[in-house]
Amino acid sequence: MTFALTNQCGKTPVDVMWVDDECHEVFRGIVTPGETFWQDSWEGHVFRLRDHATHKLVKEMTAPALPGAPDREQLWKGPRTELPLVVVKDGDSPMAEAAPAECFHGGGRAATLHVKNERKDEPVFLMRVDSDCKERDARTVNPGAKVDVNTSEGHAFRIRDMGGRLLHDIPPTSLDTTTYLTVP
């Protein structure tokens, strides 16, 4: 889903913070008075609005999915991020088993991940990597098939073969990690 926040707080800019599964706040943007901020999310995700200067909590909210609401494609002011195509080939050798390069970061713009299995005889399994760096939600990609997964820039994935061997580690797309400081 996509939701819009309009800052109607007079002269005060607010920081939009997404609250991850471990209750950590992740900065998503600043909304100046009168400005509208667009955010892709999922129903149930929690956001906090904080006064930009004092960091005082202004509001905590959960964006609800509304019946009959327009589709995000009609509202969003920019296209989904098209992530690079990941191709699994017959000759791909398994990678050394290790922890994921990066875990789920959360947030980010809507994105589409494209995975193509060029293997002739063997399906592969696309796994989402959660914030605890655990692989979840295995999705089968059959030989010769291509799948397009709607996701967000902050999601990480891995691809494994039928024997469970790691073939690809797909880290999240780089997110804006700009640090904003208020200087007296």
pLDDT digits (tens, 9 = 90+) for 7-21: 887 788 999 888 877
Q: What is the pTM of this model?
A: 0.61
Q: What is the signed CA dihedral for 23, 27, 32, 37, rounded to 10 degrees? A: -80
Q: Could you tell me the CATH number of the domain that includes residue 31?
A: 2.60.40.780
Q: What is the signed CA dihedral for 68, 73, 78, 84, rounded to 10 degrees? A: 140
Domain end call among 26, 53, 75: 75
Let me know whether 20 and 95 are in one domain: no
**How many CA within 13 A on the CB side of residue 160?**
17
Which residue reads 């640090």 in tokens? Answer: 179
Domain end call among 25, 45, 75: 75
Distance CA 160, CA 86 (A): 13
Q: Is 65 part of a structural domain of the chain?
A: yes
Let me know whether 87 and 71 are in one domain: no
Let me know whether 87 and 163 are in one domain: yes
Domain count, the chain: 2
- CA proximity to 50, closest of 7, 2, 104: 7
pLDDT digits (tens, 9 = 90+) for 105-114: 766 677 889 9
Q: Is 176 part of a structural domain of the chain?
A: no
Q: Could you tell me the CATH number of the domain that includes residue 134?
A: 2.60.40
pLDDT digits (tens, 9 = 90+) for 23-74: 888 788 888 898 888 777 777 788 999 998 899 999 898 877 667 666 655 6
Let me know whether 24 and 98 are in one domain: no
Q: Is the dihedral of CA 114, 174, 75, 16 positive or negative?
A: positive
Domain end call among 52, 75, 98: 75
Q: Is 181 part of a structural domain of the chain?
A: no
Q: Is 175 part of a structural domain of the chain?
A: no
pLDDT digits (tens, 9 = 90+) for 55-64: 999 989 887 7
pLDDT digits (tens, 9 = 90+) for 108-141: 677 889 999 999 999 999 999 987 888 988 999 9
DSSP H or E segment with residue 74: helix 72-75
Give the distance, in angstroms, between the CA of residue 158 and the centroid of all CA atoms in the same chain. Answer: 15
Q: Is 179 part of a structural domain of the chain?
A: no
**How many CA within 13 A on the CB side of residue 70?**
7
Let me know whether 151 and 99 are in one domain: yes
* Residue 109: domain span: 81-170
